[in-house]
Structure 1
Amino acid sequence: MPKLDHSVVLVTGANGGLGTHFVHQALERGAAKVYAAARTPRDWHDDRIVPLQLDVTDPVSISAAAALAPDVTVVVNNAGALNGSSVLDDDLSAIRALFETNFWGALAVTNAFTPALRSAGGVLLNVLSVLSWVGNGDAYSATKAALWSATNTQRIKLAADGIHVVALHLGYADTRMATGVSAAKLAPADVVRAAYDGVEAGEFEVLADDLSRRVKAGLAGPLKVLYPQLRAASTVD
């Protein structure tokens, strides 16, 4: 089973709430080096952490990062965005931008680092969401649903190369992205701990909280159960 001990980990979106924990907890589990990738890298004051400039929406930046980090054995696709866009917007430019980060960016990073992962028999961890399975998050849900589907394909296609692909699903975490959310929030450290536990246990999918487990279990049920608002919309007086 995959182990983080002596691994070389790349974390995208490393400066964020989850990203910071992905960096530090990898080291706690014995990683030899962590590339902390971000659009604007910062100094981590730790020789084991290598700041790496990486804009997941920029192919040139991705290629440069892959060239500077050829020894990566674990990729954590953590970078993500939320911009309030909707699939019903007349102007779809904002949702296109969201897909550039949450979907196309994650795919491009994976493809750029696949040669390194292939040579190491490495691990790909995609950070998804409970909103991968329900449309309540509008455009954000659409991006995560697309990445969930792509993750399933990656898992199948890359298995022959010895690359283990893991999907992480979670509800709201207490990070800057969820600042405007009034619902209960998960501690980022707990989310990352569950993710890395799943990686080291050889899991293909990690459901980090009860909400994710309930929604996943409910996918086989009637849509009116998954989306209570449909019951009201279909009521005939």
Structure 2
Amino acid sequence: MELKNAVAVVTGANRGLGRHLAAQLVEHGAKVYAAARRPDTVDVPGAIPLRLDVTDAASIRAAAQAAPDVTLLVNNAGISTAAQLIAGDLDSVRREMETNFFGPLATTRAFAPVIEANGGGAVLNVLSVLSWLHPAGLGSYAASKAAAWAQTDAVREELAPRGIAVSALHVGYMDTDMASGVPADQKADPVDVAAQALAGIEKGQPEILADEVSRYIKQNLAAAPDAA
């Protein structure tokens, strides 16, 4: 889809990758609703702050009503609790699944009729290399992203007849708050990741692999688990 004159909602647009996605969409000439649980924390020049909590059904419904002209939904909001699946706090595991899996599903269900009514468009789900790589130390996060990858593939097939393309963005560590403890030389630049994501949307790519780690892991999915 063409980003110029598109109308986008970007969740989690108050910081990190979401903020860069919103800012670059504005630069492309799109109208942008920069969504966050606290819209007063949004600081994206040219964007319209929008209250949206992806774990709150009423908030999602209100956002869809407040943005009736949307043609592009970017499901970026997410959390990481670093919970392990066996030893970790089960409430943390549930919170990650609510935010990283059910959140994008709920927003997509709410905005799909809006996008369809506006002539079609696209959805981008921000996933992770941990959709495919599942270390025990990040078991909860990896499980939520693996589920979100499956969701993305199924929703892509379901929404295609309605004129809505669905893309997945996969990336390893980025230089954002979520990866603050990771050495700088292991992190991708979120400015570059955002640019790749938007270029992928324009090209209609179903999967956008934004770094070498993601490309390597995707190529080796058929390998034995201990050889990945």
Aligned equivalent of 2:141: 140
Aligned equivalent of 2:130: 131
- Secondary structure in structure 2 of the residue aligned to 1:6: coil
- After superposing on structure 2, the runs of 4+ consecutive aligned residues of structure 1 that deviate more than 4 Å are none
* Offset of residue 91 of structure 1: 4.3
Alpha-carbon spacing, 1:222–1:77, altered in 2? closer, same or farther (3 Å): same
> Quick check: 2:74–2:123 contact (8 Å CA) kept in 1?
yes
* Offset of residue 89 of structure 1: 3.1
Spell out the pairing of 1:33-72 with structure 2 (5 A cutoff). 33-42=31-40, 44=43, 46=45, 48-72=46-70
* Offset of residue 28 of structure 1: 1.3
- Secondary structure in structure 2 of the residue aligned to 1:70: coil
TM normalised by structure 1 equals 0.91
* Offset of residue 44 of structure 1: 3.5
CA distance in 2, matches of 1:84, 1:225: 24
Q: Which letter does structure 2 place at the counterpart of 1:129?
A: S
CA distance in 1, matches of 2:44, 2:77: 22
Aligned equivalent of 2:80: 82
CA distance in 1, matches of 2:92, 2:151: 21
> Quick check: 2:34–2:44 contact (8 Å CA) kept in 1?
no
* Offset of residue 67 of structure 1: 0.7
- Secondary structure in structure 2 of the residue aligned to 1:219: coil
CA distance in 1, matches of 2:23, 2:102: 26
CA distance in 2, matches of 1:96, 1:54: 20
> Quick check: 2:83–2:89 contact (8 Å CA) kept in 1?
no
Q: Which letter does structure 2 place at the counterpart of 1:150?
A: Q
Deviations 1:155-181 (A, max 9, x none): 101001010000000010000000122
CA distance in 2, matches of 1:23, 1:45: 7
Percent identity among equivalent residues?
50
CA distance in 1, matches of 2:107, 2:122: 13
TM normalised by structure 2 equals 0.94
Could you list the runs of 5+ residues in structure 1 that have no partner in the other structure? 227-237
Aligned equivalent of 1:115: 113
Spell out the pairing of 1:1-237 with structure 2 (5 A cutoff). 2-31=1-30, 33-42=31-40, 44=43, 46=45, 48-89=46-87, 91-119=89-117, 120-136=119-135, 137-182=138-183, 184-226=186-228
Could you list the runs of 5+ residues in structure 2 that have no partner in the other structure? none
